[in-house]
């Protein structure tokens, strides 16, 4: 497809009409190119839809709209802000239009604020957010001191106490803890691996100095859960140990080893 000239005048949802932001059709583009015209000098911006392995997936048909910054909900962590794409043919209908969704249709397309602030390739986006006072320089400075963590394909938690939905039958899942003081990733593997029995006392490494205890290896089912630091005496000798606390059963649990659950 031929390159098209597209301008991003603002990322502020409250100023779209005031500043005359246009909408654009980026359907079929795996790399949609824009120019941030408020920056001096104007800076190029590049947006991608998603990845399939190492390949960029093009934006789907019907991707006409405008990029905007969705700030955190009142009381939510500052790093939960996101860049999103509003599907609309005119910004006059912005408020009532849906966001572009990912191929699974369960989540909106988004780019997390941490990635925007931490990854050099999003420098122009970061500058525009600061220029429009959508993100404070103090937040940018705090994130600049954090380690780089690739959060793609990981579940984002903003604290260990944050509840999340979880399928106990998943063989592998990764989580990222994000705050203005921490950025680290940890993975749970082989909670249940087909007909292969795993030792219920198996633990795995997470962040340095923390371990987790996989206490539900023989169960499958969807639950609402959260992580907690264990207070059990048997874990005290191991050092800090994360346990998975089931808060609510969303589907019936099934024991993969009858008679042992």
DSSP conformation class of 33? E
Tell me what the mean pLDDT of segment 217-242 comes to: 82
Cα 10 to Cα 34: distance, rounded to the nearest angstrom: 12
Cα 232 to Cα 253: distance, rounded to the nearest angstrom: 24
Q: For all residues of the chain together, what is the average pLDDT?
A: 85
37-42 own/partner pairs: CB under 8 Å, 24+ apart: 37/7, 37/8, 37/9, 38/9, 38/10, 38/128, 38/131, 38/132, 39/124, 39/127, 39/128, 39/131
Burial class of residue 194 (count of CB atoms within 10 Å of its CB; 0-12, 13-18, 19+): exposed
* Higher pLDDT among residues 118 and 228, named by residue: 118
Q: Which of 51-65, 82-96, 133-147, 220-234 has the lowest mean pLDDT?
A: 220-234
Tell me what the mean pLDDT of segment 218-243 comes to: 83
pLDDT in tens, 163-218: 998 887 777 888 999 999 999 888 876 554 333 333 333 334 444 445 545 544 56
The number of CA neighbours under 13 Å toward the Cβ of 81 is 21
pLDDT in tens, 23-60: 999 999 999 999 999 999 999 999 999 988 788 999 99
Burial class of residue 40 (count of CB atoms within 10 Å of its CB; 0-12, 13-18, 19+): exposed
Averaging pLDDT over each range in 39-43, 219-223, 224-228, 239-243, which range is the top one? 39-43
Burial class of residue 172 (count of CB atoms within 10 Å of its CB; 0-12, 13-18, 19+): exposed
Query: What integer pLDDT is reported at residue 192 of this predicted model?
Result: 43
* Higher pLDDT among residues 186 and 21, named by residue: 21
Query: What integer pLDDT is reported at residue 167 of this predicted model?
Result: 84
Tell me what the mean pLDDT of segment 64-76 comes to: 96
* Higher pLDDT among residues 207 and 223, named by residue: 223
Looking at the chain, the whole-number percentage of residues with pLDDT higher than 70 is: 85
Cα 102 to Cα 225: distance, rounded to the nearest angstrom: 24
pLDDT in tens, 140-170: 999 999 999 988 778 899 988 899 988 877 7
pLDDT in tens, 100-121: 999 988 889 999 999 999 999 9
Cα 64 to Cα 85: distance, rounded to the nearest angstrom: 9
* Higher pLDDT among residues 68 and 172, named by residue: 68
Helix axes 137-144, 123-131, angle to 10 degrees: 150
Dihedral sign for Cα atoms in the order 44, 59, 56, 77? positive
């Amino acid at each position: 497809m031929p390159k098209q000239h597209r301008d991003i005048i603002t990322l502020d949802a409250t100023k779209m009409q005031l500043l005359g932001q246009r909408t654009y059709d980026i359907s079929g583009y795996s790399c949609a190119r824009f120019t941030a015209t408020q920056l001096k000098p104007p800076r190029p911006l590049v947006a991608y839809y998603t990845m399939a392995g190492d390949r960029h997936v093009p934006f789907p048909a019907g991707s006409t709209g405008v990029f905007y910054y969705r700030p955190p909900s009142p009381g939510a962590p500052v790093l939960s802000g996101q860049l999103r794409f509003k599907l609309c043919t005119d910004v006059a209908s912005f408020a009532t239009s849906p966001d572009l969704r990912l191929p699974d249709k369960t989540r909106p397309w988004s780019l997390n604020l941490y990635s925007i602030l931490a990854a050099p390739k999003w420098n122009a986006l970061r500058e525009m957010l600061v220029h429009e006072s959508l993100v404070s320089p103090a937040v940018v400075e705090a994130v600049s001191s954090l380690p780089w963590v690739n959060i793609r394909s990981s579940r984002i938690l903003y604290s260990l106490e944050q509840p999340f939905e979880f399928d106990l039958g998943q063989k592998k899942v990764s989580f990222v803890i994000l705050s203005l003081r921490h950025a680290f990733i940890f993975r749970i593997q082989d909670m249940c691996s087909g007909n292969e029995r795993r030792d219920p006392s198996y633990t795995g490494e997470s962040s340095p100095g923390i371990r987790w205890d996989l206490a539900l290896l023989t169960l499958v089912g969807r639950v609402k859960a959260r992580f907690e630091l264990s207070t059990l005496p048997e874990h005290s000798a191991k050092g800090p140990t994360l346990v998975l606390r089931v808060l609510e059963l969303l589907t019936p649990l099934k024991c993969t080893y009858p008679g042992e659950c």
